[in-house]
A and B are shown apart, each in its own frame.
Chain A
């Protein structure tokens, strides 16, 4: 991984790669090929992503329930107003916000710091990077289960080590504050490598001559970092951060396994709440509206992400 691989900035190359199409027959076959090659993929996406979403959109305006059966009654924006006005939903939104900001913020700082430290090493970078990447490759199920085991207040190894240091037991998963912090810590543990990896890609691509120029000017280290390193890495880092924000916003599995929303409902994220609405009461209509609202947020975040991605690619 230490190999310096070119940071490619391939914009979506519009038409430039397209060869001239002289003959009529070839033109026809090109057209056919493009359709034949692209449409199966698009069809699968339409069937498995777009269509279900449209269906959810339709259901979100009804009082349909997947188990109770009976026809769906159209109830206009009833579900939407109920959700937007619900104090329960506001609470989950706040929890999700704290979680997203906390986790993504923490892993950005840590991930960048690790990447910076690694980029300054001359030896063993490949090995270091590989080791740091292990948590990211694990299934959220494994991560959740195992941290639950380690964070157990009575038998967990974390409290055991704190005990050896003469510190008291911490109720990691059963106090309002610590439970949310634990969730953030575990997510940070798993996803810091992600930020690190991308930051490292940016850092290794910072041209050497810029530093050399700066050192001739006897610029301070901090000045160099602020004026050279950060601006060059920032666009890439921003993409990583947005990417993580989208993923964190959707978080479900870690909550399901680590705290199942507890204590009380204090670590229930929006995704977890949608699950409860959808599968405990089978209020499919409400759950669909709730889901559509979440999708709207995701779309906004995705648009931001794509815009920065585009900027980066076009330079």
Chain B
């Protein structure tokens, strides 16, 4: 009988140690968590960047960016290391890249950690609201006033990549604060097969659909249209928003924060009907999960008459190694045309691209370097060089320069599109709004929901997200 008792004692004492340690761990971390919580409350708005660039360090310094993995990210790193080093030999540029699907999460989990491995976040234009509200990026209003020639830009581009609260389409609010500067402009281009539908691109959306229809009928194995339909990132949402804009719809009423009844009004319903019942039947079977790369592959394989894609993502189309359209760039260009989007009731096009935003958690020296980099990057001569290196600049002089217009067959499309751009909602709830729209539009495109139901669901659920600030549990479902 003695024996088990003895053993019992051993483990009891062992357990006590364990329990005590666990309890201590629990207490310390909880205290730390609470302390952190109060801390957060105090600095809930974005900290201000200095109006003038502070003195820069002479020590070696690595300026880090975060972006998703695509050619412009590699172009930026190469360009900045070649050119910026001429001014600042001690600075090295590193562009961290994450999978596109993980882009928002990767940036905002680090913001949430209050520690970032990047100094400049390349946020999607609609991420600004979330970052500003949480105090994750610097307020650079004063810095811009003192260092950037704002008149050199189309005001909407400055607003789109920097301003919060959001500017209405095409306008900039001079009194609103700025949190970023343009890095890479972008919009959709229409890619069409000159050898199949002729040199002249269709001018209206209806015309575009009928041309695609005819092309598909005349060319077995080639589908009329190819566009983004996936439910990840912002793929299907941008597609619907584009059609919605072209057919005169609105995504929301920003002033009253109303989506229900605005998005799903008559124009919105018509846009959904056009997208699902007229455009979708002209796409390839099984294209319901296509995004940038699948659309590019379809074009490169000669499987689409007309396609829509982001300009910044279209460079690969001219690469003969990836294409069956020709063995040289010239041969490919004989077959592929690039045009601005057709118009219908309006001529709106989607705003893409991203701005540079300084992380609030980066060291002072790196923040100073980041500001210096941004000032440098927005210089007229550098913007032209960026254009020549394959980037899309934002300064008007650069956009109209031969360096830019000759760098790619789609660059003229961008310059022509700038006055026609419209963005989505730039609010802290953006990630959820776009997910609701993505999944529902994707469901409608793939027959999992009726188009009208999908649109009504989007409006209802998005309105719910906007209204749920005074929630009592269950937020985010």
Please determine if A and B sit in direct contact within the complex, based on CB atoms under 8 angstroms apart.
Answer: yes
Is there a chain B Cβ closer than 8 Å to A126's Cβ? no
Partner of B289, one of A55, A66, A259, A286: A259
Minimum CB–CB distance for A228 against chain B, Å: 42
By size class, the interface of chain B is 35 or more
Is there a chain A Cβ closer than 8 Å to B231's Cβ? yes
Residues of B within 8 A of A287 (CB): 476
Residues of B within 8 A of A27 (CB): 6
Q: In the bound complex, what is the Cα–Cα distance between A285 and B22 (angstroms)? A: 23
In chain A, residues 45-88, which have Cβ atoms closer than 8 Å to a Cβ of chain B? 46-47, 50-51, 54-55, 58, 63-72, 75-83, 86, 88
A70-B474 contact, Cβ under 8 Å, with A154-B285, A260-B232, A262-B231: no
- In the bound complex, do residue A153 and residue B231 qualify as a contact, i.e. CB atoms below 8 Å apart? no
Q: In the bound complex, what is the Cα–Cα distance between A281 and B41 (angstroms)? A: 18
Is there a chain A Cβ closer than 8 Å to B34's Cβ? yes
Is there a chain B Cβ closer than 8 Å to A103's Cβ? no
Partner of B14, one of A39, A58, A280: A39
A262-B289 contact, Cβ under 8 Å, with A46-B21, A282-B112: yes
Is there a chain A Cβ closer than 8 Å to B150's Cβ? no
Is there a chain A Cβ closer than 8 Å to B440's Cβ? yes
Is there a chain A Cβ closer than 8 Å to B364's Cβ? no
Is there a chain B Cβ closer than 8 Å to A226's Cβ? no
- In the bound complex, do residue B109 and residue A279 qualify as a contact, i.e. CB atoms below 8 Å apart? yes
Chain B residue nearest in CB terms to A266:
B448
- In the bound complex, do residue B29 and residue A55 qualify as a contact, i.e. CB atoms below 8 Å apart? yes
Minimum CB–CB distance for B447 against chain A, Å: 7
- In the bound complex, do residue B134 and residue A67 qualify as a contact, i.e. CB atoms below 8 Å apart? yes
- In the bound complex, do residue A262 and residue B108 qualify as a contact, i.e. CB atoms below 8 Å apart? no
- In the bound complex, do residue A78 and residue B21 qualify as a contact, i.e. CB atoms below 8 Å apart? no
- In the bound complex, do residue B446 and residue A176 qualify as a contact, i.e. CB atoms below 8 Å apart? yes
Is there a chain B Cβ closer than 8 Å to A277's Cβ? yes
Q: In the bound complex, what is the Cα–Cα distance between A154 and B290 (angstroms)? A: 11
**Beta-carbon contacts of B272-294 to A below 8 Å, as 1s and 0s?**
00000000000011111100000
Q: In the bound complex, what is the Cα–Cα distance between A35 and B17 (angstroms)? A: 9
Partner of B439, one of A79, A82, A262, A289: A262
- In the bound complex, do residue A265 and residue B443 qualify as a contact, i.e. CB atoms below 8 Å apart? yes
Pick from B9, B29, B231, B447 the residue with the most CB of A within 10 Å: B231
- In the bound complex, do residue A169 and residue B285 qualify as a contact, i.e. CB atoms below 8 Å apart? yes
- In the bound complex, do residue B29 and residue A51 qualify as a contact, i.e. CB atoms below 8 Å apart? yes
Q: In the bound complex, what is the Cα–Cα distance between A287 and B112 (angstroms)? A: 15
Partner of B40, one of A34, A70, A88, A159: A70
Residues of A within 8 A of B448 (CB): 175-176, 263-264, 266
Residues of B within 8 A of A286 (CB): 473-477
Say whether chain B's binding surface is mostly helix, strand, loop, or mixed. helix
Partner of B303, one of A154, A159, A266: A154
- In the bound complex, do residue B443 and residue A71 qualify as a contact, i.e. CB atoms below 8 Å apart? no
Is there a chain B Cβ closer than 8 Å to A183's Cβ? no
Partner of A262, one of B25, B134, B288, B465: B288
Q: In the bound complex, what is the Cα–Cα distance between A81 and B471 (angstroms)? A: 13
Is there a chain B Cβ closer than 8 Å to A210's Cβ? no
A69-B288 contact, Cβ under 8 Å, with A266-B443, A281-B432: no
Partner of A276, one of B6, B18, B435: B435
Q: In the bound complex, what is the Cα–Cα distance between A256 and B432 (angstroms)? A: 17
Minimum CB–CB distance for B219 against chain A, Å: 15
Partner of B443, one of A34, A263, A285: A263
Minimum CB–CB distance for B121 against chain A, Å: 13
Pick from A30, A65, A173, A283 the residue with the most CB of B within 10 Å: A283
Minimum CB–CB distance for B327 against chain A, Å: 21
Residues of B within 8 A of A253 (CB): none
A280-B435 contact, Cβ under 8 Å, with A35-B17, A69-B37: yes
- In the bound complex, do residue B477 and residue A153 qualify as a contact, i.e. CB atoms below 8 Å apart? no
Minimum CB–CB distance for A29 against chain B, Å: 11
Q: In the bound complex, what is the Cα–Cα distance between A70 and B476 (angstroms)? A: 17
Residues of B within 8 A of A281 (CB): 429, 431-432, 465, 475-476
In chain B, residues 406-459, which have Cβ atoms closer than 8 Å to a Cβ of chain A? 428-429, 431-432, 435, 439-440, 442-449
- In the bound complex, do residue B40 and residue A69 qualify as a contact, i.e. CB atoms below 8 Å apart? yes
Q: In the bound complex, what is the Cα–Cα distance between A39 and B446 (angstroms)? A: 54
Minimum CB–CB distance for B403 against chain A, Å: 37
Is there a chain B Cβ closer than 8 Å to A187's Cβ? no
Chain B residue nearest in CB terms to A273:
B477
In chain B, residues 73-114, which have Cβ atoms closer than 8 Å to a Cβ of chain A? 101, 104-105, 108-109, 111-112
A283-B475 contact, Cβ under 8 Å, with A51-B22, A66-B112, A171-B288: yes
Is there a chain A Cβ closer than 8 Å to B26's Cβ? yes
- In the bound complex, do residue B14 and residue A173 qualify as a contact, i.e. CB atoms below 8 Å apart? no
A34-B10 contact, Cβ under 8 Å, with A69-B41, A71-B34, A174-B289: yes
- In the bound complex, do residue A173 and residue B284 qualify as a contact, i.e. CB atoms below 8 Å apart? no
Q: In the bound complex, what is the Cα–Cα distance between A15 and B13 (angstroms)? A: 19
Partner of B477, one of A34, A277, A279: A277
Chain B residue nearest in CB terms to A65:
B475
Minimum CB–CB distance for A76 against chain B, Å: 8
Chain A residue nearest in CB terms to B476:
A283
Chain B residue nearest in CB terms to A258:
B289
A263-B442 contact, Cβ under 8 Å, with A83-B474, A152-B286, A171-B286: yes
Partner of B231, one of A31, A176, A260: A260
Residues of B within 8 A of A67 (CB): 108, 111-112, 130, 134, 136
Residues of B within 8 A of A66 (CB): 112
Is there a chain B Cβ closer than 8 Å to A172's Cβ? yes
- In the bound complex, do residue A82 and residue B477 qualify as a contact, i.e. CB atoms below 8 Å apart? yes
**Beta-carbon contacts of A225-239 to B below 8 Å, as 1s and 0s?**
000000000000000
Residues of A within 8 A of B38 (CB): 71
Partner of B41, one of A31, A71, A83, A154: A71
A175-B447 contact, Cβ under 8 Å, with A43-B21, A263-B442, A281-B475: yes
Residues of A within 8 A of B443 (CB): 262-266
Residues of B within 8 A of A263 (CB): 231, 288-289, 442-443, 445-448
- In the bound complex, do residue B447 and residue A176 qualify as a contact, i.e. CB atoms below 8 Å apart? yes
Minimum CB–CB distance for A265 against chain B, Å: 5
Besides the contacts A78-B472, A260-B230, A280-B104, what 9 more A-B pairs have beta carbons closer than 8 Å?
A: A39-B14, A46-B22, A67-B111, A89-B477, A153-B284, A169-B285, A260-B231, A262-B289, A264-B444
26 inter-chain pairs at a CB distance below 8 angstroms, sorted by A residue, are A15-B7, A43-B21, A43-B22, A51-B29, A67-B134, A67-B136, A68-B133, A69-B37, A70-B37, A70-B40, A70-B44, A82-B474, A153-B284, A154-B287, A159-B286, A262-B288, A263-B445, A264-B440, A264-B442, A264-B444, A266-B443, A276-B435, A278-B476, A280-B435, A283-B476, A285-B475
Name B's A-contacting residues (CB within 8 A): 6-7, 9-11, 13-14, 17-18, 21-22, 25-26, 29-30, 33-34, 37-41, 43-44, 101, 104-105, 108-109, 111-112, 130, 133-136, 230-232, 284-289, 297-298, 301, 303, 428-429, 431-432, 435, 439-440, 442-449, 465, 471-477
